[in-house]
Amino acid sequence: MAFELPNLPYDYDALAPYMSRETLEYHHDKHHLAYVTNGNKLADEAGLSALSLEEIVKKSYGTNQPLFNNAGQHYNHLHFWKWLKKGGGGTQLPAKLDAAIKSDLGGYDKFRADFIAAGVGQFGSGWAWLSVKGGKLEISKTPNGENPLVHGASPILGVDVWEHSYYIDYRNARPKYLEAFVDSLINWDYVLELYEAAA
């Protein structure tokens, strides 16, 4: 399955002031495109290009680091763009998700604090995640392009804490970026869709 760069599901200005046009142009048009271009080349060289993206991510983990880096980041970003929306975030989440967050993570406020802390606490580049593992929600963080798929979990929400995701808008203030992500950008409907598929 050839990797393809998707169009953003909104205009480049749609997420301002929380994420600027300039950030999206660099992040989507340049960084994500590079993962697609390199990933296709490396998957082809490894003889894995006929597999699904998820299979390539799992197969290359621990065996082909360059391919894993690009395939993992392509997978992460395919979802990342859909995890964002204008007027998103905050406490207006679907009832089913709210109930799961209450029972598994101690409620919305605790989820918010722990998810932000995971992103702040990821040293260097990486991601913070909300995933389903063993039927329950869990929060985790991973370095670089790694994701919960390779740890037997299904990611339903992720935030990119590579500097290219926030430095134009927030400079070194990663916590402010993470607060804006949770409070103003999360597309809870897409999180619910992935939650229902995983559960």
* One domain, residues 193 and 110: yes
In this model, does residue 27 exceed pLDDT 90? yes
Residue 102 belongs to some domain of the structure: yes
Q: Report the alpha-carbon distance of residue 130 to residue 182 in Å, rounded.
A: 12
Confidence of residue 1 (pLDDT cuts 50, 70, 90): confident
Confidence of residue 52 (pLDDT cuts 50, 70, 90): very high
Is residue 151 annotated as involved in ligand binding?
Answer: no
* One domain, residues 36 and 114: no
* Per-residue model confidence as pLDDT tens digits over 69-112: 999 999 999 999 999 999 999 999 999 999 999 999 999 999 99
* One domain, residues 128 and 171: yes
The number of distinct structural domains making up the chain is: 2
Q: From the centroid of its chain, how far is CA 102?
A: 22
* One domain, residues 185 and 122: yes
Which residue in 11, 7, 77, 88 sits closest to 39, CA to CA?
A: 77
Is residue 32 annotated as involved in ligand binding?
Answer: no
CB 139 within 8 A of CB 115: yes
* One domain, residues 72 and 29: yes
Query: Average model confidence (pLDDT) for the chain?
Result: 98
Which residue in 137, 143, 84, 79 sits closest to 111, CA to CA?
A: 137
Residue 41 belongs to some domain of the structure: yes
* One domain, residues 55 and 136: no
> What residues contact residue 4 under an 8 Å CB cut-off, 6+ apart?
36
Mean pLDDT, range 186-195, rounded to an integer: 98
Instruction: Please name the helix (run of DSSP H) or strand (run of DSSP E) that holds residue 70, with its range, or none.
Output: helix 65-82
Which residue in 150, 151, 130, 133 sits closest to 198, CA to CA?
A: 133
CB 88 within 8 A of CB 36: no
* Per-residue model confidence as pLDDT tens digits over 12-21: 999 999 999 9
Is residue 77 annotated as involved in ligand binding?
Answer: yes
* One domain, residues 44 and 126: no
CATH at 189: 3.55.40.20
* Per-residue model confidence as pLDDT tens digits over 93-102: 999 999 999 9
* One domain, residues 120 and 41: no
CB 188 within 8 A of CB 94: yes
Q: Which residue segment(s) compose the domain that 143 sits in?
A: 95-198
CATH at 32: 1.10.287.990
Residue 16 belongs to some domain of the structure: no
* One domain, residues 74 and 99: no
Q: Using the 3D structure, point to which of 29, 55, 81 is the last residue of a domain.
A: 81
* One domain, residues 73 and 106: no
Mean pLDDT, range 169-187, rounded to an integer: 98
Residue 12 belongs to some domain of the structure: no
Backbone torsions φ then ψ of 64, nearest 5 degrees? -145, 85
Confidence of residue 117 (pLDDT cuts 50, 70, 90): very high
pLDDT of residue 110: 98
Residue 4 belongs to some domain of the structure: no
* One domain, residues 106 and 173: yes
Q: Report the alpha-carbon distance of residue 117 to residue 103 in Å, rounded.
A: 20
pLDDT of residue 10: 98
pLDDT of residue 124: 97
Is residue 114 annotated as involved in ligand binding?
Answer: no
Mean pLDDT, range 145-162, rounded to an integer: 98
* One domain, residues 32 and 121: no
Helix (H, G, I), strand (E, B) or coil at 166: coil
Q: Report the alpha-carbon distance of residue 191 to residue 65 in Å, rounded.
A: 28
Q: Report the alpha-carbon distance of residue 133 to residue 66 in Å, rounded.
A: 27
In this model, does residue 198 exceed pLDDT 90? yes
